[in-house]
């Protein structure tokens, strides 16, 4: 069965390419997502394992929490589709890895940190800019301590780096 990779982008990242291009560049979010799909398809054909991408963007903290819970078959989004027993041998496949750019929620959200820790899915935290070279309030992340890896300052190439790492190097639990 294909492994599911979930790409989450938080607030204002829907404006990628338009928003502060001197910091975030000129590539749009849909270009990033399409590139990630193409990259995963090509990596899959070179591995024994197939990978599929699910892309999600929201400006709302609770919506991101709901989407993270859904990745494990839990929470309101999963229940809307009918209850899922993720511990049974039903055909539900838990997301294998999450790549997340939480945007400004990086620096504020205990709720997103708790959701990621709760679902116990390995995640890579990505920042387009080098947050450590910017304002001091961007230096702290509520997520990094729980992340498998943190990428910052590589521009949108950071998403590609994260995908390649997940496919080629991440040790999956199953």
Question: Measured between alpha carbons, how far is 131 from 145 in angstroms, rounded to an integer?
Answer: 16
Determine how β-strand 3-9 pairs with β-strand 149-152.
unpaired
Is 138 annotated as ligand-binding? yes
Is 12 annotated as ligand-binding? no
Active-site annotation holds for 24: yes
Residue 4 or 134: the one with the smaller Cβ distance to ligand DQA is 134
Is 140 annotated as ligand-binding? no
Active-site annotation holds for 22: no
159, 36 Cβ separation under 8 angstroms? yes
Interface contacts to ligand DQA, rule CB under 6 A: 12, 101, 103-104, 106, 127-129, 131, 138
Residue 78 or 125: the one with the smaller Cβ distance to ligand DQA is 125
Minimum Å gap between C-beta 44 and ligand DQA is 26
Residue 42 or 130: the one with the smaller Cβ distance to ligand DQA is 130
Q: Which of 24, 105, 142, 159 is catalytic?
A: 24
Separation of CA 135 from chain center = 24
What secondary structure does DSSP assign to 66-129, as a single string?
HHHHHHTT-HHHHHHT----TTSSSS----SEEEEE-GGGGGT-HHHHHHHHHHT--EEEEESS
Which residues are annotated binding-site positions?
A: 101, 107, 114, 128-129, 138
- Report the catalytic residues: 24, 127
């Amino acid at each position: 069965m294909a492994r599911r990779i979930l790409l989450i982008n938080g607030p204002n990242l829907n404006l990628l390419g338009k928003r502060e291009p001197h910091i975030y560049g000129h590539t749009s979010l849909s270009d990033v997502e399409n590139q990630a799909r193409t990259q995963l398809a090509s990596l899959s054909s070179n591995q024994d394992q197939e990978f599929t991408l699910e892309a999600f963007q929201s400006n709302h903290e609770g919506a991101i929490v709901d989407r993270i819970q859904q990745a494990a078959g839990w929470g309101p989004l999963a229940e809307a589709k009918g209850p899922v027993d993720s511990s049974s041998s039903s055909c539900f496949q838990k997301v294998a890895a999450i790549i997340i750019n939480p945007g400004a929620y990086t620096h504020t959200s205990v709720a997103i940190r708790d959701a990621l820790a709760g679902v116990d899915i390995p995640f890579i935290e990505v920042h387009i800019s080098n947050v450590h070279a910017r304002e001091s309030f961007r230096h702290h992340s509520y997520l990094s301590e729980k992340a498998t890896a943190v990428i910052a300052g590589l521009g949108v190439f950071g998403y590609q780096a994260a995908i390649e790492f997940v496919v080629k190097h991440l040790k999956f639990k199953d």
